[in-house]
Amino acid sequence: MIDTLTPLTENQRAIQNMARDFARSELAPHAGRWDREERGDPAITARLGALGFLGMMLPESVGGLNLDTLSYLLALEEIAAADASTAVTMSVHNSLPTRMLLNFGSPAQQQAYLPRMATGELLGAFALSEPEAGSDASALRTQAVRDGDFWVLNGTKAWVTNGNCADVILAMARTDTADARRGSRGISAFIITPDLPGFRVGKKEQKMGLRASPTVQLAFDGMRVPADRLLGAEGLGFVYAMQSLEAGRLGIAAQAVGIARAAVEATIAYTRERQQFGKPLTAFQAVEFKLADMATRLHGARAMLHATAAAKDRGEPAGAHAAMCKLMASEAAMWITTQAIQLFGGYGYVTDYPVERLFRDAKITEIYEGTSEIQRIVIGRALASA
């Protein structure tokens, strides 16, 4: 086990152990099959909820565990090391819809959703991206028009994780008008539930990795949303989404660390066992050097993540550091899983061992919640304006 060097409190260690036990017994044995069948077990969401993993940082007043960021990231790493698809469900739910409701929702909105989101009775999703608006999300086109006590939404959301099984979706739509566009300040956030007339689940994506996590398009066809489902102030939805994505980046970094750790551990075990030229592979220095580089990148990514989590919990802004964590961890995960396949040789290329799944799962961490290029833009801008 390649464990963290970060000093942990008794409580953090207990959370880590609970997540590790759950991941090893209830996720790891099934992750390969879920990947092949392109669907997870819906009962896992209920288990995540029962264990408190879906309300980890929510206050106790709405049924959460009120834990610190590091506890959350430790749990996420354990889940991701066993099954990255389950980890993204946990990350999106905790970082995006629940955080947006907590930080910007009215007391009535919070009470209506958060207690049941904390237990997993309601699963959350986040719908910002559109077919034509990804990295430049402020160019989104879904339009909301006020009609009495309703907003009427028309448009298509793309790439919505859990969009076909979520109960509460935080969706961004334009509330400015065609003759007075206001850019990112013309976007508002809405609380969407699948029972609304005009809500439709569209195409389900066939993916390279993260195959047990459903990613779908959502169509809003004249969808009538009660006016009290507007989150916070009109025109600030994009700001809310961007602020929440900052926390989300730490979650994706933890997911990447988990995938990378699983790859390092599997590779160490394999290269100790596998014999060529009459010796275990670890007897060859070229192999040892590769293992050393893999473990070093893993420790570096994780140490930066934990330091940033601690700073965030002290109340310091995580901004550029959160972007650095995601950039470093996701690129480490991609590099490490690539080396893992190389060290497994042909056995790394087939499905008998988990490293090919880890390789496929690692790739998405360089893309979603802001690509590596976008993280570099965020970091570069912070440096230029400091």
Q: What residues act catalytically?
A: 369
Minimum distance from residue 8 beta carbon to ligand FAD (Å): 30
Nearer CB in complex with ligand FAD: 44/84: 84
Q: Which residue is nearest to ligand FAD, using beta carbons?
A: 134
Minimum distance from residue 370 beta carbon to ligand FAD (Å): 6
Minimum distance from residue 322 beta carbon to ligand FAD (Å): 15
Minimum distance from residue 101 beta carbon to ligand FAD (Å): 16
Nearer CB in complex with ligand FAD: 104/126: 126
Minimum distance from residue 333 beta carbon to ligand FAD (Å): 15
Minimum distance from residue 114 beta carbon to ligand FAD (Å): 19
Q: Quick one: tokens of 231?
A: 């989150």
Q: What is the 3-state secondary structure (H, E, C) of the chain?
A: CCCCCCCCCHHHHHHHHHHHHHHHHHHHHHHHHHHHHCCCCCHHHHHHHHCCCCCCCCCHHHCCCCCCHHHHHHHHHHHHHHCHHHHHHHHHHHHCHHHHHHHHCCHHHHHHHHHHHHCCCCCEEEECCECCECCCHHHCCCEEEEECCEEEEEEEEEEEECCCCCCEEEEEEECCECCECCHHHHEEEEEECCCCCCEEEEEECCCCCCCCCCEEEEEEEEEEEEHHHEECCCCEHHHHHHHHHHHHHHHHHHHHHHHHHHHHHHHHHHHHHCEECCEEHHHCHHHHHHHHHHHHHHHHHHHHHHHHHHHHHCCCCCHHHHHHHHHHHHHHHHHHHHHHHHHHHHHHCCCCCCHHHHHHHHHHCCCCCCCHHHHHHHHHHHHHHC
Minimum distance from residue 56 beta carbon to ligand FAD (Å): 19
Contact 285, 21 (CB under 8 A): no
Nearer CB in complex with ligand FAD: 134/354: 134
Nearer CB in complex with ligand FAD: 48/128: 128
Would you tell me which residues interact with ligand FAD (CB under 6 A)? 92, 126-129, 134-135, 159-161, 207, 210, 215, 364, 367-371, 373-374
Burial code (b: 16+ CB inside 10 Å, e: under 16) for 310-324 equals eebeeeeebbbbbbb
**CA gap 325, 46 in Å, rounded:** 30
- Other Cβ atoms less than 10 A from the Cβ of 347: the count is 14
Nearer CB in complex with ligand FAD: 138/371: 371
Nearer CB in complex with ligand FAD: 65/127: 127
The answer to whether the Cα torsion of 125, 128, 132, 136 is positive or negative is negative
Nearer CB in complex with ligand FAD: 63/258: 258
